[in-house]
Copies of this chain bind each other. A is one copy, B any other.
Amino acid sequence: MPAGLGEFDRISRFFKPLAAGIEGALELQDDAALISPPSGEELAVTTDAMVEGVHYLAGEDPARLARKLLRVNLSDLAAMGARPVAYTLTTVLPKSVGDDWLARLAAGLASDQEAFGLHLIGGDSVSTTGPVVLSVTALGAVPKGRALTRSGARPGDRVFVSGTLGDGALGLMAAKGELPHLSPGDVEALSSRYHLPTPRTGLGPRLLQLASACMDVSDGLPGDLAHICEASGVGARVEVERLPLSEAARRAIDADRSLLSTALSGGDDYELLFTAPPAAMEAIGGIAAELGIPLTPIGEIVEGDGVALVDRDGRPIENLHGWTHF
């Protein structure tokens, strides 16, 4: 790579190829991009940013970073039931960032564009005296009036979560070397979940007309479920023993019980948390089998408010730390 390209050359070399597959990007040469939802659909719009030293460590591979940033945004689209279509990227870069770094960033974006079927349509490149900041605004398409929101949960609905929970939070600890009792394989399995979450872009659109409420788990299950409860005007009970754990997370918690609350509340899982009436159970089971993604019922929506963690007999768990029945 030549070093020290100017802004226009950087856009031309690294970003223009990422916009080649979508007409409305206008080859990134105009003041704005153009986009229409397909007939009968509307656009879902979400924005997420990452800051060096806050959301990731300096020295992180820019390709992996780019992919995580895209995936965090795609997880938000999935939570609305929207298919990925396009995104804009703002890069805020100190002068020390060279063309090699940008080439790696673009390679990561290219890889996940291909994997998730979306395209770059625009952005801005500015300089800073501070740390790297990357911000993505992602656009998805969803049938008009059908998007999943947080406000439709009703008493009697079951609460589901996709995949496994806790790998993100335990993965961050593993990546930082804070889980020395784990095998190298488990460290790798968990930390890769943290570095490169799997947005449920295939699942989200399949939940339209089945789920009554949906969001992605980014801040931790109890807090995130509390958002659904608040938006829907209901309460929820979660049976902690039902929480789906990966084998690596299970071994980590078996070795150190205090990690259960980390796994439960740590966030960064980017799984879908959704509610659905009992009548939808069978259809949801079919989708899980078809997509090969566990969709686990972990509790139910009740009258009232707040999220209660309960044991298998329905008794509230007052102190997760002291609780040993998991």
CA distance A29 to B80 in the complex (A): 12
Q: Is A281 an interface residue (CB 8 A)?
A: no
What residues of B have a CB within 8 angstroms of the CB of A128 in the complex?
51, 53-54, 130-131, 133
Q: Which residue of B lies closest to A53 (CB)?
A: B129
Q: Which residue of B lies closest to A91 (CB)?
A: B49
Q: Which residue of B lies closest to A73 (CB)?
A: B32
Q: Which residue of B lies closest to A149 (CB)?
A: B30
Q: Is the CB of A137 within 8 A of B140?
A: no
What residues of B have a CB within 8 angstroms of the CB of A216 in the complex?
31
What residues of B have a CB within 8 angstroms of the CB of A46 in the complex?
31-33, 88, 122
Q: Report A70 CB to chain B, min CB distance, Å.
A: 14
What residues of B have a CB within 8 angstroms of the CB of A86 in the complex?
45
Q: Report A83 CB to chain B, min CB distance, Å.
A: 12
Q: Is A183 an interface residue (CB 8 A)?
A: no
Q: Is the CB of A32 within 8 A of B122?
A: no
Question: How many of chain A's residues have a CB under 8 angstroms from any CB in B?
Answer: 61
What residues of B have a CB within 8 angstroms of the CB of A115 in the complex?
none
Q: Is the CB of A45 within 8 A of B29?
A: no
Q: Report A60 CB to chain B, min CB distance, Å.
A: 15
Q: Is the CB of A32 within 8 A of B127?
A: no
Binds B, one of A35-43, A99-107, A283-291: A35-43
Q: Is the CB of B88 within 8 A of A45?
A: yes
Query: Which residues 122-179 of A have a CB within 8 angstroms of B?
Result: 122-124, 126-131, 133, 135, 137-140, 142, 144, 147, 149-151
What residues of B have a CB within 8 angstroms of the CB of A48 in the complex?
124
Mask of A36-69 contacts with B, CB within 8 angstroms, 1/0: 1100001111111111011100000000000000
**Do A47 and B123 form a contact, CB below 8 Å, given A79-B31, A128-B133?**
yes
Q: Which residue of B lies closest to A94 (CB)?
A: B130
Q: Is the CB of B32 within 8 A of A82?
A: yes
Interface centre among A48, A49, A53 (most CB of B within 10 A): A49
Q: Is the CB of B129 within 8 A of A47?
A: no
CA distance A49 to B125 in the complex (A): 8
Q: Is the CB of A49 within 8 A of B88?
A: no
Q: Which residue of B lies closest to A138 (CB)?
A: B32
**Do A54 and B126 form a contact, CB below 8 Å, given A45-B88, A46-B33, A80-B31?**
yes
Q: Is A19 an interface residue (CB 8 A)?
A: no
CA distance A92 to B133 in the complex (A): 8
Q: Is the CB of A49 within 8 A of B231?
A: no
What residues of B have a CB within 8 angstroms of the CB of A26 in the complex?
149
CA distance A35 to B45 in the complex (A): 8
Q: Report A100 CB to chain B, min CB distance, Å.
A: 22
Residues in A lying within 8 Å of B, measured CB to CB: 24, 26, 29-37, 42-51, 53-55, 75-77, 79-80, 82, 86, 88-90, 92, 121-124, 126-131, 133, 135, 137-140, 142, 144, 147, 149-151, 215-216, 227, 231
